[in-house]
């Protein structure tokens, strides 16, 4: 094969595929893409600066740990195994007031008493208080207070279950997604690192929770999108749509969180946290709302860019207006299901709370007005507005860029002076399915 043919084949490989058409060299000739690249690059630079400035030094976490220990909120945790389970009269039971209790003994595997058998305080069965449902041989986690040499039951040991579940999840993702699935797992690991290694320690160091959340959200968007989908024009457009929608979500959430005047003290965690760290709880709630919206935003933006790219790939004669219309029609259906998903996700995590409100026989308005529920309502609605806005924002950018990009397909198919006449190719068989088969019907209002 000649050098020219090789070069042509190389350029052809970059211009085709299921991403937006054209290589980076072709795209850099499009003014709209250059604007997006400059904007994304500026946000990336600000994100790096934010990470450097806000990166925790650990001092705030150390202070919080010391403060929590002084308040008795920090205890050691050791692995153990149930040795015996015995039911019988309580030690304080009497003939006039009989009481039944359950007593557990455990073998401690760690700590100063490793290998020893410890007996926990009795669990009263008569008063109906919650009692651990444990059997001999069950693996547990025991709490230990060094100052009093006191052991107590903390929780079951679910390490093996969680490990096997994580392995099964990874196998399924890699089996279906293969290399892309492996990259998605790497992006998830990076997200966990940012959440645990940056956000929490940085806030404990005294940094503003909203600023930390926005910086972390931008970093997660850059890492997860580029790592999972590759450093391509397609991903860059999706990233631009994600960042723009995230900024809109932050602006809307800031307004309504301020109007709702949330204190952040409606939960047990909110009441405990000010005792161990100097944290602005209202800002912490707002930062959490921004991060919560990010997970759904990148899903919507990637889908919209892929939709526009596929439409243009299948029919390069579509105009910008037609690409926008078709892309938004797809996004409309996606948004309808995603908004409901957010609502169900928050409701599912608050099932015990919903049951308590139902048992209290409070009017729906009173329940919604309570801070613990109102926070979730504002968070859901503000995040949903950002999701809805992500559809037109991303679709407009993708359609404008696709329409402005010179197509490499036409150049590849154009006859050259040296080409010989060939037989007329047979027409391709008609497609069995078209966009009209799947698009929602238009409704005349």
Q: How many CB atoms lie within 10 A of CB 334?
A: 17
Say what the pLDDT of residue 104 is. Answer: 93
pLDDT in tens, 268-324: 788 888 888 888 888 998 998 888 888 788 888 988 988 888 888 888 888 888 888
Say what the pLDDT of residue 255 is. Answer: 94
Structural element, H or E, at residue 316: none
Q: How many CB atoms lie within 10 A of CB 432?
A: 6
pLDDT in tens, 75-101: 889 999 999 999 989 988 888 888 889
Please name each of the domains of the chain with its CATH number.
10-56+161-408 (no CATH), 75-157 (2.40.50)
pLDDT in tens, 244-266: 999 999 999 999 999 998 888 87
Give the mean pLDDT of 44-50. 96
When computed from its CA atoms, the radius of gyration of the chain, rounded to whole angstroms, is 29
C-alpha distances in Å from residue 234, one per residue of 37, 41, 180, 316: 12, 15, 15, 17
Q: Report which of 418, 423, 341, 333 is spatially closest to residue 384, judged by C-alpha positions.
A: 341
pLDDT in tens, 200-248: 999 999 999 999 999 999 999 999 999 988 888 888 889 999 999 999 9
Q: What are the residues whose beta carbons fall under 8 Å from the beta carbon of 328, sequence distance 6 or more?
A: 391, 392, 395
Cα–Cα distance, 19 to 306 (Å, whole number): 7
Per-residue confidence band for 3, with pLDDT thresholds at 50, 70 and 90? very low
Say what the pLDDT of residue 256 is. Answer: 93
Q: Identify any residues that bridge with 104 across adjacent strands, giving them in sequence order.
A: 85
Mean of per-residue pLDDT scores for the chain? 80
Give the mean pLDDT of 358-372. 77
Contact call for residues 102 and 86 (beta carbons, < 8 A): yes
C-alpha distances in Å from residue 277, one per residue of 195, 204, 209: 18, 6, 13
- Above 50 in pLDDT, residue 158? yes
Q: Report which of 286, 378, 302 is spatially closest to residue 334, judged by C-alpha positions.
A: 302
Say what the pLDDT of residue 26 is. Answer: 65
* Residue scoring higher pLDDT (385 or 363): 385
The two beta strands, 100-108 and 76-89, are antiparallel
Say what the pLDDT of residue 193 is. Answer: 93
47-61, 277-291, 368-382, range with the lowest pLDDT? 368-382
Say what the pLDDT of residue 365 is. Answer: 78
Q: Identify any residues that bridge with 117 across adjacent strands, giving them in sequence order.
A: 107
The per-residue DSSP string of 57-115 comes to -SHHHHHHHHHHHHTT---EEEEEEEEEEEEEE-TT--SSS--EEEEEEEEE-SSTTTT
Terminal Cα distance for the chain, rounded? 60
- Above 80 in pLDDT, residue 194? yes
Give the mean pLDDT of 95-120. 91
Exposed, middle or buried, 326 (CB in 10 Å: 0-12/13-18/19+)? buried
Say what the pLDDT of residue 23 is. Answer: 61
- Above 50 in pLDDT, residue 1? no
Say what the pLDDT of residue 20 is. Answer: 53
Q: What are the residues whose beta carbons fall under 8 Å from the beta carbon of 153, sequence distance 6 or more?
A: 104, 120, 132, 140, 142, 143
**CA atoms 420, 422, 424, 430: torsion sign:** negative
Q: How many CB atoms lie within 10 A of CB 56?
A: 19
**pTM score:** 0.76
Contact call for residues 279 and 412 (beta carbons, < 8 A): no
Contact call for residues 281 and 261 (beta carbons, < 8 A): no
């Amino acid at each position: 094969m000649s050098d020219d043919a090789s070069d042509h084949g190389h350029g052809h490989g970059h211009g085709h595929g299921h991403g937006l058409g054209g290589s980076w060299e072709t795209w850099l000739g499009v003014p709209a893409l250059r604007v997006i690249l400059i904007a994304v690059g500026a946000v990336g630079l600000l994100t790096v600066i934010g990470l450097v400035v806000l990166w925790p030094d650990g001092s705030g976490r150390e202070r919080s740990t010391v403060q929590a220990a002084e308040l008795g909120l920090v205890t050691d945790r050791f692995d153990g195994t149930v040795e015996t389970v015995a039911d019988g009269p309580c030690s304080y039971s009497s003939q006039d007031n009989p009481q039944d209790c359950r007593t557990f003994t455990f073998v401690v595997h760690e700590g100063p008493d490793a290998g020893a058998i410890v007996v926990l305080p009795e669990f009263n069965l008569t008063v109906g208080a919650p009692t651990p449902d444990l059997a001999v041989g069950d693996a547990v986690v025991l709490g230990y207070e060094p100052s009093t040499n006191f052991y107590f039951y903390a929780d079951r040991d679910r390490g093996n279950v969680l490990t096997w579940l994580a392995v099964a999840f990874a196998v399924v993702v890699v089996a279906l997604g293969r290399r892309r699935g492996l990259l998605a797992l790497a992006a998830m690991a990076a997200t966990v690192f940012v959440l645990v290694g940056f956000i929490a320690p940085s806030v404990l160091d005294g940094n503003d929770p909203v600023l930390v959340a926005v910086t972390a959200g931008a970093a997660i968007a850059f890492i997860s999108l580029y790592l999972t989908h590759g450093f391509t024009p397609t991903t860059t457009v999706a990233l631009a749509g994600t960042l723009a929608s995230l900024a809109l979500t932050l602006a809307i959430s800031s307004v309504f969180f301020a109007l709702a005047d949330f204190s952040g003290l409606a939960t047990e965690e909110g009441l405990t946290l000010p005792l161990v760290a100097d944290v602005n709880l209202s800002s912490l709630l707002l930062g959490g709302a921004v991060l919560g919206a990010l997970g759904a935003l990148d899903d919507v933006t990637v889908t919209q860019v892929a939709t526009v790219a596929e439409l243009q790939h299948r029919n390069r004669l579509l105009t910008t207006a037609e690409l926008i219309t078709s892309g938004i029609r797809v996004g409309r259906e996606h948004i309808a299901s995603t908004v409901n998903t957010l609502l169900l996700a928050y409701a599912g995590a608050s099932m015990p709370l919903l049951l308590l409100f139902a048992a209290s026989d409070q009017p729906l308005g009173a329940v919604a007005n309570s801070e613990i529920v109102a926070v979730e309502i504002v968070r859901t609605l503000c995040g949903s507005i950002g999701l809805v806005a992500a559809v037109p924002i991303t679709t407009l950018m993708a359609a404008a860029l696709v329409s402005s990009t010179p197509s490499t397909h036409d150049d590849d198919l154009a006859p050259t002076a040296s080409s010989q006449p060939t037989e007329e190719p047979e027409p391709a068989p008609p497609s069995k399915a078209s966009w009209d088969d799947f698009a929602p019907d238009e409704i005349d209002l």
